Structure 1
Amino acid sequence: MSKLTWIDQTLNAAVRRQFTSDQLAEVASLLSRLGIGQAGICMVDWQRYRPDLSGAQQYLELCGMLDISVCELEWVEQAGIKHVVVSASVACQADFTVKLEAVIAEAGRRGLQVTLLLEDFASLAVPELLAVVPKISSYPVAAVIYGDKAGTGHSFTTFDQITALNNSLNCPVGIQAGNAYGLATGNTLAAMKAGVRLVVTAVAGIDGFAPWEEALMVAKQLAGMDVEIPPNLAAGCQQVLSALRLTIPENKAIIGPAIFSHESGLHVDGVNKDPWLYEPFAPELVGLSRQLIIGKHSGTTALKTKFAAWGIRLEDAETRRLLANVRALAVRQKTAISDDELRRLYLSS
């Protein structure tokens, strides 16, 4: 498995909100357009109202997700799903010696492909982790996912543990990193560096998973992986969240509409000279554009740059007069000023 594969949790957010079958198909279609091909469905959420998933399956490959404590494999079959992800804790010996063995055997009889999602790896030292490997290796599974739902791991231990798993298992290893402490993206990057190519995410980090768009960009920009960035990544994520009746925060990393907005005179001057000083990637890469915000922190460079975009060349003296009026207005109204307000100030000065 050399190419990144996502198990997306965004569609399950719609299932948990009990969207209709048509609405689920719409969300699946939007995810597919972003290049996401697989989605996980929590079968406990699904069985509460049992929506028809056939429309969503036209766009995405679905896998049913079940905890070992509530492992009703018939739900997976009834939903028309052929792949089950079974989660269990490595700290619970009974899960391995009794429950997990029985579930995997039953899944085999039903013709279901099985992936293991093993939680609590983050709490183990590498020698303890390797002691679990013989138990895992005995099972006929498609992949093993390193689970850290609690988000307690950090990138150094994650890298070491994933490396050890990769070197010891004959099946692909994945990562599901929780974001309780804001480390999901960093831990996912560490796992990618250690060779993981199966990643559990959700658009904009819905429900505490690693944000898909962040994982995608770190794979491209920091891990140097050959991944394709959708031409309108930010807009596509906005469409997904709108379908879920959610909004993107203005400053959301990668896709927030205001992340390429600059007001400070120092920032504007730096961006004009070299965008890489303040921008980790070109805004066009995700379908956004740079914005100059004019307010109380603006300087003469920002004003000249703004007016130059409108085809107006400001002289130094008039720039200073205009800047004084700009700052006074911004302080009075306690917010940045609009383009219309800026034009009126220019015409009246």
Structure 2
Amino acid sequence: MYNCIQRYNYIKGGVHVKRKIRLVDTTLRDGEQTAGVVFANEEKVYIAKLLDKVGVDQIEVGIPVMGGDEKEVIKKIVDSNLNASIMAWNRAVIKDIKESVDCGVDAVAISISTSDIHIKYKLKSSRADVLRKMIESVQFAKENGLYVSVNAEDASRSDREFLLKFVEKAKDAGADRIRFCDTVGTLNPIDTFNAIKMIKDNIDIDVEMHTHNDLGMATANAIAGVMAGANFVGVTVNGLGERAGNASLEEIIMALKCSLKFQNKYNLSEIKNLCEYVARASDRPLYPWKTVVGDSIFSHESGIHADGALKNPKTYEIFSPEEVGLQRRIVIGKHSGTAAIKNRLSQIGITVDNYTASKILSKVRATSVSLKRALSDRELISIYEDYLIENGLDMKEA
């Protein structure tokens, strides 16, 4: 599978083509469709500005045909003079696109189902009618000077021959890219790779990955799509989205950087601030071990890990905490070793030798077990002071 993919290039017609991966953030549309999540208008404007600070290429801001507050806030975002392209979501309906035009966005997503189960039971329509509506909508959007992404909803469960026909017709109608939607999160990375490669091998069009996390593979599937030639990735902050959510912006940015080795222009130092703000606005707190931005992901307790991280952080960290606005922390607890004890006491202003650290260690571990948690600095100092008293030592002799 990987032989035909280069980390920076992909092969097209025997030529290595330099690639740029662009992020399309849909926190304000798909993210707000998370059950129970509602962003206030000013929150939506501020989130858009934070996304722009990070350097997101395109922001999908909402659904203009909803009218009311939705349309009002989209216009505010359009008027915010952001660097990012501003996209609105639409059904394959001319009325929807007219509302998007009225908002002043520069791009539209035109969405319609391509799987037979959706066409039969949701749309109560036919493949031919799906193609007709899509083509008419794309042509209308292009006549109004808009960048067009055609969303193949439920693409992952669509008949492959019909999907290729859909993509080909979309391109012929003037679409700038196709959004491949794994709407119910049913794919795995290998099947995702093969599906995207099939499209890229047959039709010369940009492909965006839009993956859902129902089976916990949204980020992995999106990255597999990139490896197969997709050059846009749809994301949401903190992985918000319907049901189990979408591929998360922070995971995708760091996976592209650390796993696929793409050099990107994104402002990593703003990611933590963005994620924390969206967490508050959505009332979905960040758990401490959250990938990339969780407060505890650079905490080391295990003796072997802490020792390695103290000698050279790269032994157990693939990127530095400072890159994403976090800090490294050595935790003192049941699994600590002498190196961690010495380091933590040193930071408090107490210097001990290996022998003293080893004597303190057994008490540290026993205390951690009895308390069922890591120890505070005050508790560590208390154990150290008890050791001095028990051995008739003072601070200078230790």
TM over 0.5: yes
Q: Is the 8 A contact 2:110 2:151 kept in 1?
A: yes
Deviations 1:325-344 (A, max 9, x none): 32233233221111222223
Report what 1:104 is aligned to.
138
Structure 1 range deviating more: 110-119 or 176-185:
110-119
Structure 1 range deviating more: 50-59 or 179-188:
50-59
What is the CA distance between 1:163 and its match in structure 2?
Answer: 1.9
- The residue identity in structure 2 corresponding to 1:47 is G
Residues 1:121 and 1:214: Cα distance change in structure 2 (over 3 Å): same
Report what 1:220 is aligned to.
257
Report what 2:240 is aligned to.
206
Report what 2:6 is aligned to.
none
What is the CA distance between 1:231 and its match in structure 2?
Answer: 4.4
Provide the C-alpha distance between the structure 2 equivalents of 1:131 and 1:105, rounded to a whole number of angstroms: 17
Q: Is the 8 A contact 1:96 1:135 kept in 2?
A: no
Deviations 1:255-306 (A, max 9, x none): 1110111112232233334544432323233232221111122222221222
- The residue identity in structure 1 corresponding to 2:105 is I
Provide the C-alpha distance between the structure 1 equivalents of 2:98 and 2:41, rounded to a whole number of angstroms: 20
What is the CA distance between 1:234 and its match in structure 2?
Answer: 2.6
What is the CA distance between 1:37 and its match in structure 2?
Answer: 3.6
Q: Secondary structure at the match of 2:233?
A: strand
Q: Is the 8 A contact 1:30 1:236 kept in 2?
A: yes
Report what 2:90 is aligned to.
66
Structure 1 range deviating more: 316-325 or 64-73:
64-73
Residues 1:19 and 1:79: Cα distance change in structure 2 (over 3 Å): farther
Report what 1:173 is aligned to.
207
Report what 2:308 is aligned to.
270
Q: Secondary structure at the match of 1:115?
A: strand
Report what 1:32 is aligned to.
52
Provide the C-alpha distance between the structure 2 equivalents of 1:7 and 1:225, rounded to a whole number of angstroms: 17
Residues 1:245 and 1:61: Cα distance change in structure 2 (over 3 Å): farther
What is the CA distance between 1:183 and its match in structure 2?
Answer: 0.8
User: What is the aligned length?
Assistant: 349
Provide the C-alpha distance between the structure 2 equivalents of 1:155 and 1:102, rounded to a whole number of angstroms: 33
Given the alignment of the two structures, is residue 5 of structure 1 paired with residue 22 of structure 2, yes or no?
Answer: yes
- Which of these residues, 40, 43, 47, is aligned with residue 23 of structure 1? 43
Given the alignment of the two structures, is residue 287 of structure 1 paired with residue 343 of structure 2, yes or no?
Answer: no
Bigger-Rg structure (1/2): 2
Q: Is the 8 A contact 2:64 2:74 kept in 1?
A: no
- Which of these residues, 20, 39, 42, is aligned with residue 62 of structure 2? 42
Provide the C-alpha distance between the structure 1 equivalents of 2:205 and 2:69, rounded to a whole number of angstroms: 35
- The residue identity in structure 1 corresponding to 2:354 is D
After superposition, residues 1-349 of structure 1 pair within 5 angstroms as 2-12=19-29, 13=31, 17-43=37-63, 46-47=66-67, 49-50=69-70, 51-57=72-78, 58=80, 59=82, 60-68=84-92, 72-91=96-115, 92=119, 93-124=127-158, 129-207=163-241, 208-232=245-269, 233-349=271-387
Q: Secondary structure at the match of 2:75?
A: coil
Unpaired runs of 5+ in structure 2?
1-17, 120-126, 388-398
Q: Secondary structure at the match of 2:185?
A: coil
Structure 1 range deviating more: 217-226 or 111-120:
111-120
Provide the C-alpha distance between the structure 1 equivalents of 2:40 and 2:164, rounded to a whole number of angstroms: 44
Unpaired runs of 5+ in structure 1?
none
Provide the C-alpha distance between the structure 2 equivalents of 1:325 and 1:271, rounded to a whole number of angstroms: 23
Provide the C-alpha distance between the structure 1 equivalents of 2:226 and 2:25, rounded to a whole number of angstroms: 16
Residues 1:4 and 1:71: Cα distance change in structure 2 (over 3 Å): farther
Instruction: Give the TM-score normalised by the residue count of structure 2.
Output: 0.78
Q: Is the 8 A contact 1:241 1:248 kept in 2?
A: yes
Deviations 1:182-238 (A, max 9, x none): 111111111111222211101111111111111111111121212134242334432
Instruction: Give the TM-score normalised by the residue count of structure 1.
Output: 0.88
State percent identity of aligned pairs: 29
What is the CA distance between 1:239 and its match in structure 2?
Answer: 3.4
- The residue identity in structure 2 corresponding to 1:315 is D
Provide the C-alpha distance between the structure 1 equivalents of 2:155 and 2:350, rounded to a whole number of angstroms: 61
Q: Is the 8 A contact 2:88 2:107 kept in 1?
A: yes
Q: Secondary structure at the match of 1:41?
A: strand
Q: Is the 8 A contact 1:8 1:200 kept in 2?
A: yes
Deviations 1:22-78 (A, max 9, x none): 332211111111112421133178536333333322234321112337962233134
- The residue identity in structure 2 corresponding to 1:177 is T
Q: Secondary structure at the match of 2:335?
A: coil
- The residue identity in structure 1 corresponding to 2:109 is V
Q: List structure 1 runs of 4+ shifted beyond 6 angstroms.
A: none
Provide the C-alpha distance between the structure 2 equivalents of 1:303 and 1:45, rounded to a whole number of angstroms: 61
Residues 1:258 and 1:129: Cα distance change in structure 2 (over 3 Å): same
Structure 1 range deviating more: 68-77 or 191-200:
68-77
